[in-house]
Amino acid sequence: MELGLVGLGKMGGNMRERIRRAGHTVIGYDRDPDLADVHSLDELVDKLEGPRVVWVMVPAGHATQAVIDELAGLLSPGDIVVDGGNSRWTDDERHAVELGIKGIGFVDCGVSGGVWGLENGYALMYGGSDEHVGKVQPIFDALKPEGDFGAVHAGKVGAGHFAKMVHNGIEYAMMQAYAEGWELLEKVDSVTDVREVFRSWQEGTVIRSWLLDLAVNALDEDEHLDKLRGYAQDSGEGRWTVEAAIGHAVPLPAITASLFARFASRQDDSPQMKMISALRNQFGGHAVEAKK
């Protein structure tokens, strides 16, 4: 299968490589010419044989809208656009209508896996019609982890990004719980090796997880996280999760509190946010702020 891939950053570049390893052809475009296979969206579309599939992997909001607007003028009826960024599900519904008027299909896909996805595979949550999803399925199969799980056709257009949004909200709460436990352990005199306590939890406990493994990795690199400032950014999806909960009258006390804790990190040097920041860097390569 041929795929056009727009956006070759940390995620997109690794996705291109994983898809190629599965035997598919990927033509990639990025504003950075050192990363790109072609030097414009026009050239990318021209090199693909119809019916085309173009996967967009750029930041949510204006950047995604600009790419989709340009593709709408370049693609033909029967082609498909996949938005694999972190777009809001309400944007997906609008994009599907805008492209549908021109006969172009649309699939939204939430992607999780961070910098580890190239080797381990990416968890995929996608939304769209059975027809459109079916045309992209070989690419989903190439990206997903090995085995029976790790990918789901979550429902109609918007369902993929909605599912990924909830996934990220749960991630917020899990990271906050580990961070609070770490800070409390660090505070008491009787616990003399907090890092090894965390390491001991990796086997046989009900709280073992990949996030716990990454926490231990971070503590191995900087045992007391002294090199980090207690500041953690939020990607936006935590906010959207809370807003969706309000709109549907669903109580989310843990996720909401974890979002507010990140806001608190911007007011002082929070020890908990050192752990949140370290975890975000471990699984996603997100930037951290060094202590000044």
Q: Which residues make Cβ contacts (< 8 Å) with residue 249, sequence separation at least 6?
A: none
Q: What is the dihedral of CA 270, 271, 274, 280, to 10 degrees?
A: -80
Q: Of the listed 43, 98, 135, 171, which one is catalytic?
A: 171
C-alpha of 61 from chain center: 15
Q: Of the listed 164, 183, 237, 274, which one is catalytic?
A: 164
Helices 159-187, 237-247: inter-axial angle, 10-degree rounding: 110
User: Are 110 and 126 contacting, i.e. CB atoms less than 8 angstroms apart?
Assistant: yes
Strand order across the beta sheet in which 25-29 lies: 25-29, 2-6, 53-56, 80-83, 105-112, 123-127, 151-155
E strand or H helix that includes residue 11: helix 10-21
E strand or H helix that includes residue 127: strand 123-127
Strand 53-56 and strand 2-6: pairing?
parallel
The question of whether 135 is a catalytic residue gets the answer no
Residue 159 CA to residue 162 CA, distance in Å, equals: 5
Task: Name the one residue in this structure whose structure tokens are 């693609």.
Answer: 75
Q: What is the dihedral of CA 13, 109, 244, 176, to 10 degrees?
A: -40
> For residue 42, which phi and psi values (nearest 5 degrees)?
-60, -45
Residue 139 CA to residue 149 CA, distance in Å, equals: 15
The question of whether 223 is a catalytic residue gets the answer no
> Which sequence positions are flagged as catalytic?
164, 171
